Every structure is written in structure tokens, then in C-alpha cells.
Chain A
């Protein structure tokens, strides 16, 4: 039987919204979760964010203007990547190439939002659509099994989202390599990734061993086409790429983000559920993850926002409780060929 977020049977952190259903989380005698216990004071965090930002800005200064594009942006058309694109163009004056992956389930409003934001910022934009049979097979497998990702991945996202993120990240890397673009930017926010990934360098030679293992695993799960979507060209090992996640260094409330990008004509889609602003598939992942693991896949990012005063605790709990019903996601399951008994 599932534990709905907000259930009285669970222990909830007195500060954030992590609960006892989440693996790896413990509580002290006062009801504070292990993540909150380890979180440094806000002034220390501010110093860490500033240091991380300085590192990122240093790399930006060194690379800006040397090539036609300084940065490829993983641009979902959602609120966070829209804000990142604005920041990179307006604040850091980078020449950006925005790339959107059409996974077959984008909100009808995403194309309009992409055009509005890229148009206002004067940014080139590419929409890439992977083969539908491959994506369907990947999502179907991800909906019915967790075994293609490490156990710790359940803290980051649903299995469906983790698979999709892998395709997106690899495609951004591929474009960066093909077009000799030195920086890749993502729109990840706190709780989705560790704080120390606001800026990091990917040494592709160093990562080759791990990538080869991952590609073999994905081919085994999703079929031969997975090599095209999770693998890199043979000459990739000669290159380094810098990855930046500017949102991890910013402290913004959702309403501030939406107000800012709203000035470009970005509007919130109404067909993507409570936790996504671009993808209609997301709710299937939320539905499955919540029932399979007993906690919402967005719990870490909401806990992070609550912990840092960016989201009211009550509002976060309300979002975590607003789980989709099967009737709302059945059309997605049907389209993927996934039966109710399989999830």
C-alpha cells in the first residue's frame, strides 16, 4: 500500500519535507532530517555559492567569444532552463545555442514558449526529435522496471525522467563536441543535483570507462539504438567540456522566475501537471515512482527549496500531495503500451 506524501504514518522533517519513506534519510531526536542536520548555516552556503559562481564566471571569461557559440543550453522550454538562458545571454553575454529535445510528450505550449524566449533573447534554437520507436521502448521499459539505473537515482527523479535525462545530457555533449562548443549549461535546480555540480569539468577520456559500461547497460535494456543516444563519437575522448548549472548558484522563488520569463511571453502550460512546465509524460513518472517507492520523485528539490526559504512548507506539502490519479495518466500508459498491472 502506498504512502501518500503527507501521510500521518510517516515521520516528516520538522524543517523541510523529507520523510521516513525516503531511503537514506534518518531523523534526530528533535525530528530534524539527516540532510537538514548536515546543511551548513545560510551564510556559509552563501559563501560556497559565491565561490562556485566565481569559478563559473572565470571559465566564462576565458571562453567567451572565441567560437560562434560559447555555450549549448539544454533548453526544455520549461521555466528553469528559460531563466538560465536569459541569465547566460543577458548577464554573462554568452552566445548560446538553445537545444530542445522533443520526447514526443512535450506540452502543446512548449513550442510557443521556446519561440517566445529564444526570440526575445535573440538566440538560435534547435529542436531535436529522437526516433519514436526508441523513445517509446525506453519509456516503456523505464515505466515497468528500475533496474537500468542505480538505486540512488530514485532520489533524483523517476525512472522515466532519469532515462530521458540521460538522452538529453548525451545529446548536449554530442552537439558540444560536433560544434566545438566549450560549455554546456543545464537548468537543474537545488535538490535535483548535488550543490557541487554548479560547475564541473567533464574529462571525456576519464569518463570513457564509465560511459562504455553505461552504454552496454542501456543497449541491454533499450535495444541497439541506445548506443546512438547514450554513446559518443570515437574521437570524443580527446576533449574536455565544462558543464554549468547556474540555477544551483542562484536563490530564486518560482514566482520570481515565472514573473521574469513572463516578460518574454512565456506562459505556464496547463497540460503538464503540478511539477513540470514542459512535459506531459512527467505525471506518469510521478504516479509510478510515488506508488513504487512511497515518496514523490520531486521531494528532494521541494525539500531543498523549503530548507532555503524559497518555498513555503505548506505549499510544498500540498504539491507533494497532489498526485495524479490513474485516469489522468492512462492515456500515456496506453500510448506506451503499459498495462495498469505492470506499474
Chain B
């Protein structure tokens, strides 16, 4: 899946689940936790979506990284994990 398609897929999930839109205020680089758009329940939903949809397993380092907080960062994590040896192939939505 190309970056833009991947980004759109994750953005669509976020918009539908967390009830916000990406625009000039909330951008792909916005820290979604600092902005108060996702809480701990939402975080659990987000991780479940990413792991199930893209057949990946996030690591402790992924969780602790700044990347987990923004759309662009999450796209980077997903791309890296999908390219890593041992990861299953993607379930393209």
C-alpha cells in the first residue's frame, strides 16, 4: 500500500472513531494525545486497528516513540513494521 493510501486508511479510521477531521488545525503532524483527541480507551482501539488491519505487532519502542502520537508518525511505524522480516503480509483494507 502506498504511503498516501495508508495515510488515508488510518485517517479515515481516526475520523470515524474519534470524531475529528484533519484540517488546518489538526494536521497529520499534530500530537493527537496532547490535543486531547484520543484517550486511553481510544489508544487501545487504535492499536487494535493497526495490528489487525496491517497484520503487524507494535513493540514497546514503538509505543514509547513520539511517532505513535501523530498520523504521519504512525504511517512511519506501520511502514517500518511491514517491511521488517518476520511480519505477516498486509490485510489491505
B19 near A152: Cβ-Cβ < 8 Å: yes
A151 CB within 8 Å of chain B: yes
Q: Is the CB of B63 within 8 A of A203?
A: yes
Whether a CB of chain B sits under 8 angstroms from the CB of A214 is yes
B-chain residues with CB within 8 Å of residue A156 when the two chains form the complex = 41
Residues in chain A near residue B19, CB distance under 8 A: 23-24, 150-152, 155
Q: A203-B60, A205-B60, A208-B64 are in contact. Are A151 and B16 (CB under 8 A)?
A: no
User: What residues of A have a CB within 8 angstroms of the CB of B18 in the complex?
Assistant: 150-152
Complex partner residue of B40 from A24, A203, A205, A210, CB under 8 angstroms: A210
Q: Which residue of chain B lies nearest to A170 when distances are taken between CB atoms in the complex?
A: B40
B48 pairs with A196, CB closer than 8 A = yes
Chain A nearest Cβ from B58, distance in angstroms = 8
Q: Considering the complex, give the chain A residue whose CB is closest to the CB of B32.
A: A150
A304 to chain B, nearest CB (A): 16
Check if B37 sits within 8 Å of A209, measured CB to CB. no
Contacts of A210 in B (CB 8 A): 33, 38-40, 43
Q: Which of B1-44 contact A (CB under 8 A)?
A: 16-20, 33-34, 36-44
- Against B, the Cβ 8 Å flags (1 = close, 0 = not) of A122-160 are 000000000000000000000000011111110110000
Q: Which residues of chain A are near B16, meaning CB under 8 Å?
A: 24
Residue of B nearest to A197 (CB): B44
Tell me, rounded to whole Å, the shortest Cβ–Cβ distance linking A332 to chain B. Answer: 25
B59 to chain A, nearest CB (A): 9
Taking the complex as formed, is A206 at the interface, i.e. its CB lies under 8 A from any CB of chain B?
yes
Cα separation A335 to B64 with both chains bound (whole Å): 42
Contact of B17 among A152, A197, A203, A211 (CB under 8 A): A152
CA A243 – CA B34 in complex, angstroms? 25
Instruction: Tell whether A207 is near chain B: CB-to-CB under 8 Å.
Output: yes
Please tell me if the beta carbons of B37 and A207 are within 8 angstroms of each other in the complex. no
Please name all residues of chain B whose beta carbon is closer than 8 Å to the beta carbon of A24 when the two chains form the complex.
Answer: 16-17, 19
B71 interfacial contact with A, CB 8 Å: no
In the assembly, what is the distance between CA of A151 and CA of B19, in Å? 6
A203 to B61, CA, bound (A): 12
CA separation between A120 and B40, bound complex, in Å?
Answer: 35
Q: Which of A149, A151, A209, A211 contacts B69 (CB 8 A)?
A: A209
Q: Is B90 an interface residue (CB 8 A)?
A: no
Chain A residues whose C-beta falls within 8 Å of the C-beta of B64 in the assembled complex? 205-206, 208-209
Are B60 and A150 in contact, CB atoms less than 8 angstroms apart?
no
- Chain B contacts with A in 52-68, Cβ cutoff 8 A: 58, 60, 63-64, 68
Residues of B with C-beta under 8 A to A147: 36
| CB < 8 Å neighbour of B37 from A148, A151, A194, A214 | A151
CB under 8 Å from chain B, chain A span 41-56: none
Q: How far is the CA of A156 from the CA of B17 in the complex (A)?
A: 12
Q: Is A8 an interface residue (CB 8 A)?
A: no
Task: List, in ascending order, chain A residues with CB within 8 A of B20's CB.
Answer: 151
Which residues of A sit under 8 angstroms from B33, Cβ to Cβ? 209-210, 213-214
Give min CB distance, A94 to chain B, whole Å.
23
Q: In the complex, which residues of chain A have a beta carbon less than 8 angstroms from the beta carbon of B17?
A: 24, 152
CB distance from B11 to the nearest CB of A (A): 15
CB nearest neighbor in A for B68: A209
B91 contacts the other chain (CB 8 A): no
**Nearest chain A CB to B86's CB is how many angstroms away?**
20
Q: Taking CB as reference atom, which chain A residue is nearest B40?
A: A210
A193: interface (CB < 8 Å): yes
Q: Known contacts A148-B36, A213-B34; can you find 5 more A-B pairs with CB under 8 A?
A: A150-B19, A150-B38, A209-B64, A210-B40, A217-B36
Instruction: Enumerate 12 A-B pairs (CB-CB under 8 Å) in ascending A order.
Output: A24-B17, A149-B36, A150-B42, A151-B37, A156-B41, A203-B63, A205-B63, A206-B58, A206-B60, A210-B38, A210-B39, A217-B36
Q: Which residues of A contact B (CB under 8 A)?
A: 23-24, 147-153, 155-156, 169, 193-194, 196-197, 200, 203, 205-211, 213-214, 217
